[in-house]
Structure 1
Amino acid sequence: MNTKKKILFVINPISGGKRKTAFKKQILDTLDLNKFEPTFQQTDHAGHAHELAKQAVINKYDVVVAVGGDGTINEIGSALAGTDTPLGIIPEGSGNGLALYLGIPLHEAGAIRRINRFDMMTVDTGRVNDRFFFNVAGVGFDASVSDKFATDSTRGPIGYLRTVMNLLGSYRSKKYQLTIDGKSYDREAFMISVANSPQYGNNAYIAPNASVTDGMIDVCIVHKFPLYLLPMMVFHLFNKSVDQSEYVEIIPGRVISIDSEDIGPVHVDGEPLLIEAPLQFSVQEKSLKIIC
C-alpha cells in the first residue's frame, strides 16, 4: 500500500525575477522521497496557480506548495482556504512577506526541509470583497506603487524602489471614510493598509503587532507627512516601530469598510486590482493550514 503523501509543486517561472530551471532537481535532491510523491506544474498565466490548486484539492493531493512570491501564495491559498489541504511555501518572490513572518527559509533547500518536517499551523485569512488576502491589502500610495510596479520590466527590490521614488513626488493623499467594528472614522491618508500579518516583505513592518492567529486584522492609517520625514518613516518601517510615529494610526478590528470618492487601485498581497468601493474587509479565523 502506498502511504506516500501526494504533493504538488506549483511553480511561477517569473516570480522575483529568478530563473527556476534547476528547481525540479533541487526538489528531488532535498525532498524526502520516502515520505512524498511529487508532481510539478508550471504556471503560464494569471490565475493559473489558483486553477491548479483547486484541481489538486479535487484530486485529493495532500499538500500544495507555492513556489513563488506573495501573489502566487495568494492564488493558491485562496483555493485551499476552508479545506483540509495544507499550503507549503518555497519563497521565490520580490518581498516574501508571509514567508519571512512565518520564519520559512528564503533558500530553497531550507524551505524544502521545512516541508519534510511537516510541522503545521492553522492561520486566519483576510477577505476584501470577494478576494482573499493572507498578508497585507490596502489602498493609497502602496497600492499605486504595486499598480505601476506590475508593468515594470525590472523585477525585485531595485525595480520596486525605482517605482516608489518615481511616484513619491506626485502622489497626493486622499480622503477616506472608514467603519471599523461599527465605529466611523473620517481620515485624509497617504495610504491605508489592512494587515493580517505584520510586514509587506523584505522585513518592512507596516503593522508590528499584527498576528495571523489573533482573529483580528490591523488597519494601519498613514497620514499625510512632510516628504523630508521620509527617511524617518522608512526607518520606522524597518525598525518595527511604525506604530510609534505621530503620522501613523493603527486600529485593530474584525469587520472593516473603506470608502472614498476615488478609491484608486487596491493591492491584495502586493498584487494590484481594481475593486469597486466600498471595500469590505473581514477576517476568517483559523481557515488555512500552512506548513511552516
Structure 2
Amino acid sequence: MGKRKQILFVINPISGGKRKTSFKKQVLDVLDLQKFDPTFQETSYANHAYEIGLRAVEEKYDAVIAVGGDGTINELGSALAESGIPLGIVPEGSGNGLALYLGIPLNETAAIRRINRFEFVEVDCGTINNRKFFNIAGLGFDASVSENFANENIRGPLGYLKSAINVLSKYKPCDYKLWIDGKEYERKAFMISVANSPQYGNNAYIAPQASVNDGILDVCIVHQFPMYILPKMLFHLFNKSADQSDYVEIIPGRNIKIEAIVKSVVHIDGEPVDLGSSLDIGIIPKALKVIC
C-alpha cells in the first residue's frame, strides 16, 4: 500500500444553519482510509478558512475539503488558487451554487464518497479588485440581499427569500458605467452580476450559458423592470432562460471595469464586501482544481 494522501477537512460549524457535530465520525465511516489520512479543523471567525488554506499550502497537503457554503469555498479556493492543491467540497451552505453546477451531491455521505474517486476539474477564477471569486460576484439588488441576509437570523433558502422581499420593497435601480474588453456601456440597472458559473445557488440561473472553464466571464445586466413582471423574471431564473428575458442583457468579457455612480455594496460569491465604487474585474483561466 502506498503512502496515504494527507487531506484537511475545513469545517464551518454554522454554515447553512446545520450543526455538524457528527461530521467527523461520518468521514471516518465513509472515506477510504487506506487511501486518505484525514485531519479536521473548524473555522471560528471571518476569513479563518482563508488563513487555514494558506497554511495548508505551506504544509503541502494533498487536498483541502471545504465543509460549508459558498463563503467557505471562496476563502479556501482563494488560498489554494494556482497552488495545484485540489479543493474538495462537502456542500453545507444556503445556496451551494458552485457545487450544484459541478454536480457535487448535496448529500453529505455521497459528497464524501465523491472524494474517494479523487478526480478533479480545473476551474477559472474571477478577480475583482484583487479579491477572487469562483461562482458569481455582483452589485446592485443581489448584493443588497446578500448584505441583508448576512444580518438575518434565519439561514437557508427561507432566510434568503425573506431578505430578498425586505430589500425589494425599498430598492431603487442605479446608474453604472461599464467597460467590457475595451467597449464602453452606460446602463441604469437593477443589478449587475459577473458570472463565472451559471447559477447563484438553489438552481437559480442568472447566466445559463456561463462555464467555469471557458476563460470568459458573463456580465449579466438586469435592467429596471415593472413589478408585475417579477413572477416572469423568477420563472426565467429557475427555468435556465434568463438570457431570453427582454430585461436581461448578457455580455461576455475578460477585462471588465464597472463604475457605480452611487457607491453600492458588492458581493463576492454571496458574501457582502465594501470594495468602493470602481471595480476592476478579470479572470485567471484554470486556476483551481476542484474534486468532483
Task: State the TM-score, normalizing by the size of structure 2.
Answer: 0.99
1:12 to 2:15 alignment: no
Match of 1:190 in 2: 190
> Is the 2:264–2:276 contact (alpha carbons within 8 Å) kept by the matching residues of 1?
no
Is the Cα–Cα contact under 8 Å of residues 259 and 277 in structure 2 kept in the other structure? yes
Give the corresponding residue for 1:52. Answer: 52
Deviation for aligned residue 1:2: 5.9
Does residue 207 in structure 1 map to residue 207 in structure 2?
A: yes
Task: Measure how far apart 1:84 and its partner are.
Answer: 1.2
Q: Which amino acid aligns with 1:255?
A: N
Amino acid at match of 2:4: K
> Counterpart of 1:128 in structure 2: which amino acid?
I
Partner of 1:139: 139
Distance in 2 between residues matched to 1:228 and 1:276, nearest whole Å = 33
CA separation in 2, counterparts of 1:182 and 1:77?
29
Q: Bigger shift: 35-44 or 163-172?
A: 163-172
1:43-99 Cα offsets, whole Å, 9 max, x none, are: 000000011111011011000000000000000000000101100000000000000
What's the CA shift for 1:261?
2.2
Structure 1 residue 220, shift from structure 2 partner = 0.1
CA distance in 1, matches of 2:62, 2:16: 27
Q: What percent of counterpart residues are identical?
A: 66
Alignment deviations for residues 7-46 of structure 1 (CA, whole Å, 9 cap, x no partner)? 0000000000000000001100000000000000000000
After superposition, residues 114-153 of structure 1 pair within 5 angstroms as 114-153=114-153
Give the corresponding residue for 1:285. 285
Query: Which residue in 2 is equivalent to 1:262?
Result: 262
Q: Following TM superposition, by how much is the alpha carbon of 1:276 offset from its aligned partner in structure 2, in angstroms?
A: 1.7
Counterpart AA for 2:131: R
Could you tell me which residue of structure 1 aligns to residue 82 of structure 2? 82
For residues 161-204 of structure 1, give each alpha carbon's deviation from its aligned partner in whole angstroms, at most 9, with x where no partner exists: 01111111210000000000000000000000000000000000
CA distance in 1 between partners of 2:260 and 2:9 (Å): 40
- With the length of structure 1 as denominator, give the TM-score of the two structures: 0.99
Report deviation, 1:263. 2.9
CA-atom RMSD in angstroms: 0.8
**Aligned counterparts of 1:173 and 1:49: Cα–Cα separation in 2:** 34
Which 4+ stretches in 1 moved above 6 angstroms? none
Q: Which amino acid aligns with 1:37?
A: D
CA distance in 1, matches of 2:191, 2:7: 39
Letter in 2 for 1:85: I
Deviation string, structure 1 residues 236-287 (Cα, Å, up to 9, x no partner): 0000000000000000000100001213110000000000221011010011
One-letter amino acid of the counterpart of residue 177, structure 1: K
Unaligned runs of 5+ in 1: none
The equivalent of 1:32 in structure 2 is 32
CA distance in structure 2 between the aligned counterparts of 1:152 and 1:162, rounded to whole angstroms: 9
